[in-house]
Amino acid sequence: MSRKDHALSLFSQHFNCSQAVFAAYRLPDALDESAALKLASVFGAGVASTGRGLCGAVTGGLMALSMKHGRGDLDSVEAKAKTYELGRKFMETFEARHGSCVCERLLGICIGTPEGHRQAQEARLFETQCLGYVSSAAEILDDLL
């Protein structure tokens, strides 16, 4: 199964967008799937289910880029600049495809309120739009990693 398919499978199992993307694209030798799912939990639904922050698929993608390229010790100063560059490319590509990287702008509803969440469920935004954002984040990661 491709990493993209794995991300889509995790999302269809009701893990949030950030969990699905990060767990599928993590470095498996460095972090097991259960730990990745826990780590990314708070970044779903516009960060902590506020609906106002970055799309969870974006945060999951940024976490995956950082895990692979980020600065992890005092000797890898260049890694910070490379990670920022890749993060900007990721976000610019995502925004070019979808018009924004912010959950509320992408969905047109703030899912951080009970009413907004209900509206999103009734409109099936999680199964349609959010699934597409997970897919798109995976495609961008496949190009950048």
User: Could you tell me where the beta strands, DSSP code E, fall in the chain?
Assistant: none
Q: Rounded to the nearest 5°, which phi and psi values hold at 102?
A: -100, 130
**How much is the pLDDT for 50?**
94
Dihedral angle of Cα 131, 134, 135, 137, to the nearest 10 degrees: 160
Among 51, 63, 50, which Cα is nearest to 90's?
63
Q: At what angle do helices 131-144 and 3-12 cross, to 10 degrees?
A: 160
Q: pLDDT by residue for the chain (145 residues), tens digit each?
A: 999 999 999 999 999 999 999 999 999 999 999 999 999 999 999 999 999 999 999 999 999 999 999 998 888 889 999 999 999 999 999 999 999 999 999 999 999 999 999 999 999 999 999 999 999 999 999 999 9
Question: Would you kindly state where each structural domain of the chain is located, as residue ranges?
Answer: 3-144
* Pair 80, 70: CB distance under 8 Å: yes
* Pair 39, 16: CB distance under 8 Å: no
**How much is the pLDDT for 76?**
84
Q: What is the greatest pairwise CA distance in the chain?
A: 51
How many residues would you count in the chain?
145
